[in-house]
Chain A
Amino acid sequence: MDKFRMMFQFLQSNQESFMNGICGIMALASAQLYSAFEFNCPCLPEYNYAYGIGILIVPPIWFFLLGFVLNNNVSMLAEEWRRPTGQRRKDPAVLRYMFCSITQRSLIAPVVWISVTLMDGKSFLCAFSVNLDLRLFGNGSTPDLAKADLVRLLAKIPCKDVFDGEQVVSREAASRYLRCISQACGWTFLLLTTLVAFMVRAIRPCFTQAVFLKTKYWSHYVDIERKMFEETCTEHAKSFARICIQRYFESVGGEIQDFHGQHFHRKDKSEDEGEKTKGDEDKLLGIRAQDDMNKVLWNWHTCKPPLNIKKEDFSSNGTININGFSNNLQKSDPPKKEWAVYYSKV
């Protein structure tokens, strides 16, 4: 029981909590990056808007793409999407589920950057200071400035040390006002994002729970199957290499090996070696040539096997067997005589 608990935790939590951890780290990195970044408004009418809005929009896009790059499941999604159908049909719902979960995790860091930028207010101030309504902030007497001069003055509002129009407009009041609007936008943005997440998370069970269980299972299965395949290939390669090298050494010094084997014959040691060789042979799974192995790897992509591992297919097929019972088993009915199947090895 405990072993299964730990195994389950390792299986489940390793993948998901790893992804959640990366997601959290990226969110913290985006907040830290903003505070470390030295915001530097150009204070020129032509460039303020571009700079302010650029700082608001471009780093989130960069974080979003980075989330895709760091996520391991992206290559799994691409593989499942592009593979030929083979013997296993493709389920678009599973692909959609995988894509949605990857996208959700990648969206967290951009949302954090946008909210922090809006709460701080500097980019808003930089972008919209030229659009300020002077009637609210004019200091009583407004000398007749040309429009271009006025615009240039307003553009200098974000820069405390460059601003020189205190008689025309109060810089403090204007920047306070713009920051207030920026913070209101930030809170509204956060509220909308939270509401959308709430709809997706809490209301979804009302609609598609049965389908959701299915797609969650199969997307997890695709991930595990890929890992198992890689593990099996690695074990096979190891056994293949070991036996290959053993055969090579045997072919070079064959007589000496046998001689040694006969002289230093000890019961437990020979049994161990015998079992080890047998284990290796088992691990080879019958694939003993380079061409066979190439064919295995090629067919794994171009013609995936069907999802069916029922035992009846084995005995009826005749060509495939796992434990060799087709060599010495009488014709028996598999579902009823399962116990007999196991004991026939005795």
Chain B
Amino acid sequence: MDRLKLVLQYFQSNSESISNGICVILALISVKLYTSFDFNCPCIPQYNKLYALGVMFVPPVILFFLGVIINRHTGVMMEEWVRPIGKRTKNPAVVKYLCSAMMQRSLLAPMVWVLVTLLDGKCFICAFSMSVDPRHFTGIPNNTGMDLVRLMAKVPCKEDAVFHNSTFRKAVTRYVRCYSQAIGWSILLFLILLGAISRVVKPCFDHATFLQTRYWSNYLDIEQKLFDETCVLHAREFARKCVHQFFQSMQEDMQLRLQLPPPHCHPSHRDEECEDEDHLHGITRDEQVDRVLHTWYSCRPELDVTKTAHQPKVCITWEDHNGRTLFSDV
């Protein structure tokens, strides 16, 4: 019982903590990606906004889809959603729970990217430098012969010849960055408040149903893992027996060369063979294997293991003609 509990805990915590770990790693990757990305504002009026908003919003979409792809629960959820009913009714609450858990984890890395972008400020400066009213700032260079829009569009590019060491450029940059950081911090505060309120308020609503759906979604995850595990073990035993049988079939004049079986089998050898039989579960042909896999998908069995859990053990007793017990399993 203890060992079973340990195994279950390992399965349960392992799956969730692995998903959380991957989620955090993806968030760290998004920060690293931003710092290694060489932001390159074009400083041309028509393209500034497009480039900057593209850099702010396209990578989060990519990171979101990556988060969904990497998450194990996506496969579990899709399979549960799409499978035929078979002998097991579907619970839409479980699918919804899995979906929301997957979405929450996948949204972390995109939010991190957007926040880092806003706190850094380069995107904002590139996008909105043209919207700043230059009259608030002194020192605007007016001998370049360029119109105002083109001039303001060059503000994000510090190595440009127009704004060589200009205080005007630095002032405008600082102003827009300030806006950008204010928006970034506000979004962060809002998200944290939202998270805190939902954590606090959630148990007030339908907690019992929540416990049930959480249990059954964990169950689905574990069941799929165990099914894969059983398939692997079965394949191994199947392969071993197949190869063994192949070698046997290549023998010539086997009857002559075969030895008599030993007087009694070594106990450990018998256990090993019994274990092999257990792994095969009576599935010994390719059509049977195909049927097992097809039925697993199209007609999921009911959630009732009463018959197997309380299976009576078959005991055999050998008696001689006097009724004396020679050997007994009891």
A interface residues, Cβ below 8 angstroms from B: 1-2, 4-5, 7-8, 11-12, 119-121, 136, 140, 170, 172-173, 176-177, 179-180, 183-184, 187-188, 190-191, 194-195, 197-198, 201-203, 205-206, 209-210, 213-214, 217, 220-221, 224-225, 227-229, 232, 236, 275, 278, 281, 285-288, 292, 295-296, 299-300, 305-311, 319-325, 327, 339, 342-343, 345-346
Contacts and interface: CB of A to CB of B under 8 A. Distances in A.
Contacts of B247: 232, 236, 285-287, 296
B133 to A, nearest CB: 25
Contact of A327 (B240, B244, B260): B260
A198 B252 contact: no
B232 A12 contact: yes
Contacts of A194: 62, 65-66, 69
Given A2-B3, A339-B316, A220 B235 contact: yes
12 contacts: A8-B229, A172-B161, A184-B51, A184-B54, A198-B69, A202-B69, A209-B297, A286-B250, A287-B250, A305-B242, A321-B258, A346-B327
B289 interface: yes
Nearest to A8: B229
Nearest to B251: A286
Contact of B250 (A187, A295, A342): A295
Contact of A1 (B3, B68, B246): B3
B303 interface: no
Contacts of B240: 228
B258 A327 contact: yes
Given A210-B294, A214-B294, A229-B243, A308 B284 contact: yes
A343 B316 contact: yes
B47 interface: yes
Contact of B78 (A172, A202, A229, A346): A202
Contact of B58 (A2, A187, A214, A292): A187
B263 to A, nearest CB: 8
Contacts of A214: 290, 293-294
B43 interface: yes
Contacts of A190: 62
B37 A119 contact: yes
Interface string B69-112: 10000110011001100000000000000000000000000000
Contacts of A342: 270
B238 A220 contact: no
Contacts of B75: 201-202, 205
B286 A305 contact: no
A187 B54 contact: yes
B241 to A, nearest CB: 4
Given A190-B62, A210-B297, A229-B243, A11 B261 contact: no
A246 to B, nearest CB: 17
Contacts, number: 209
A183 B42 CA distance: 11
Contacts of B78: 202-203, 205-206
B58 to A, nearest CB: 5
Given A176-B43, A286-B257, A295-B250, A307 B236 contact: no
Interface string B302-330: 00000000000010101000000001000
Cβ-closest 9 pairs across A and B = A286-B251, A307-B286, A210-B297, A225-B239, A205-B78, A180-B42, A285-B247, A309-B241, A221-B235
A12 to B, nearest CB: 6
B249 interface: yes
Interface in B32-58: 37-38, 40-44, 47, 51, 54-55, 58
B160 to A, nearest CB: 7
B262 interface: yes
A319 B249 CA distance: 9
Interface in B256-309: 257-262, 264-266, 270, 284-286, 289-290, 293-294, 296-298
A270 to B, nearest CB: 14
A296 B252 CA distance: 11
B260 A324 contact: yes
Given A180-B42, A205-B82, A214-B290, A292 B159 contact: no
B242 A324 contact: no
Given A8-B233, A229-B243, A305-B242, 19 more contacts: A1-B4, A1-B7, A11-B232, A173-B43, A177-B44, A177-B47, A180-B47, A202-B68, A202-B69, A205-B78, A210-B294, A224-B236, A285-B248, A292-B250, A307-B285, A310-B285, A321-B254, A322-B248, A346-B327
A305 to B, nearest CB: 4
A201 B235 contact: no
Contact of B293 (A5, A217, A296, A322): A217
Contact of B296 (A213, A287, A300, A339): A213
Contacts of B260: 324, 327
A159 to B, nearest CB: 18
Given A119-B37, A202-B74, A205-B82, A210 B44 contact: no
Interface in B1-40: 3-4, 7, 37-38, 40
B249 A176 contact: no
Contacts of A236: 247
B69 A325 contact: no
Given A136-B44, A183-B40, A217-B289, A286 B264 contact: no
Contacts of A172: 157, 159-161
A320 B69 contact: no
B189 interface: no
Contact of B239 (A203, A210, A224): A224
Given A180-B47, A217-B289, A343-B316, A324 B259 contact: yes
B113 to A, nearest CB: 12
